[in-house]
Amino acid sequence: MSEQTKLATFAGGCFWCMVGPFEQLDGVLSITSGYTGGETENPTYEEVCSNTTGHVEAVQIVYNPEKVTYEELLDTFWRQIDPTDSGGQFNDRGESYQTAVFYHDNEQKQIAEQSKEELNQHGPFDNPVVTPVVPAKTFYPAEDYHQDYHKKNRFHYLLYRKGSGREGFIQQYWGDN
């Protein structure tokens, strides 16, 4: 990382659905789909989906903090997930689809914890936010066919996003905002 860039890492269930929203933010330089949080080195998609590696599907974002703040990234993250669900996201269930904010330094930790508390106090949810804020671990990029899936397989991606329940949830809780 150069002095002009920073890393942010978020697990929001299926990583296919997490790339597009961050791509729209000015200052986001790259987004990589991958796996993190577990102990297995260089896990494959099949291993992660077996829920035996400790890893979750996640996105790692390289961003320019002079153009987009960590707070803006967090706001985008919270609006893509159900942070009250500890068992996965929407139709995707199990360990590998759990949510998390992986912080890379103490500043990110403080901002993430404050953001989570704000969401608990003033957010649209009846249940408490259970998404953990945890230290970043080694991030392993997913296989090439998972990178930019929303562009390579647009039709299937849009069907999946709607059919999984994610799109309806976002609309219900956040509207067009």
Catalytic residue positions, numbered: 14
The three-state DSSP-derived secondary structure of the chain is CCCCCEEEEEEECCCHHHHHHHHCCCCEEEEEEEEECCCCCCCCHHHHHCCCCCCEEEEEEEECCCCCCHHHHHHHHHCCCCCCCCCEECCEECHHHCEEEEECCHHHHHHHHHHHHHHHHHCCCCCCCCCCEEECCCCEECCHHHCCHHHHCHHHHHHHHHHCCHHHHHHHHHCCC
